[in-house]
A and B are shown apart, each in its own frame.
Chain A
Amino acid sequence: GNSVTQMEGPVTLSEEAFLTINCTYTATGYPSLFWYVQYPGEGLQLLLKATKADDKGSNKGFEATYRKETTSFHLEKGSVQVSDSAVYFCASSNAGGTSYGKLTFGQGTILTVHP
């Protein structure tokens, strides 16, 4: 089955630092890939997604590129803010066949940004 492996956290950065959170996946076929963000006390919400190889998802200054050759979908942001402090989850869909919308999530990476 599918699996998603994320960079271990927690990650602590100063404001305006560059952020990378690594994510790799295993899947048969070509899944869609997602980054979700969870702010304290809230549910997960979609941050960005990419549905095919070489697609770049972007939102709120965050970017991730679907790399089929390295089976990766690393999350990046050039200049983080305190308000970006949250838990970030990488996820993949079940590729091919009947998926019913099920996603496989990574373990989550806690990001803390200090002023």
Chain B
Amino acid sequence: DAGVIQSPRHEVTEMGQEVTLRCKPISGHNSLFWYRQTMMRGLELLIYFNNNVPIDDSGMPEDRFSAKMPNASFSTLKIQPSEPRDSAVYFCASSATGISRGGELFFGEGSRLTVL
């Protein structure tokens, strides 16, 4: 079975450019999460969706960040304009759990973003 697929795996860009990260969750999963990982702050939850609807975006750092999930098989995280402090590894994760006590999250391999 295909796992969570993220693209690009690596992105190097210059400050001020727009960055779009993509995620394809596991088929049949109805919750999708975007995380950011840095040495300084560890693993941070940015936003999550259930049945394509954003549930909680309180972790999104600021208005430069936006996320969409137009359908059950695709999500994007966009940074516009990008800044050097956005450099991090961005993970997408999905889960088959709906209204429940919680279950396993399946993570993608991450998108490593470097903003110069």
Contacts and interface: CB of A to CB of B under 8 A. Distances in A.
A54 B3 CA distance: 31
A100 B99 contact: yes
Contact of B99 (A45, A51, A99): A99
A96 B101 contact: yes
Nearest to A32: B102
B109 A99 contact: no
B95 to A, nearest CB: 3
A99 B103 CA distance: 9
A103 interface: yes
A94 B98 CA distance: 12
A32 B45 CA distance: 18
Interface string A82-115: 0000000100111110111111010110000000
Interface size class of A (residues with CB under 8 A): 20 to 34
A101 B95 contact: yes
A82 to B, nearest CB: 22
A99 B101 CA distance: 6
B39 to A, nearest CB: 10
B34 interface: no
11 contacts: A34-B104, A43-B91, A44-B93, A46-B105, A98-B99, A99-B102, A100-B31, A101-B105, A102-B48, A102-B56, A102-B102
Given A44-B43, A46-B106, A101-B96, 5 more contacts: A46-B105, A93-B101, A101-B50, A101-B100, A105-B43
Interface of B: 4, 31, 33, 42-43, 45, 48, 50, 55-56, 91, 93, 95-110
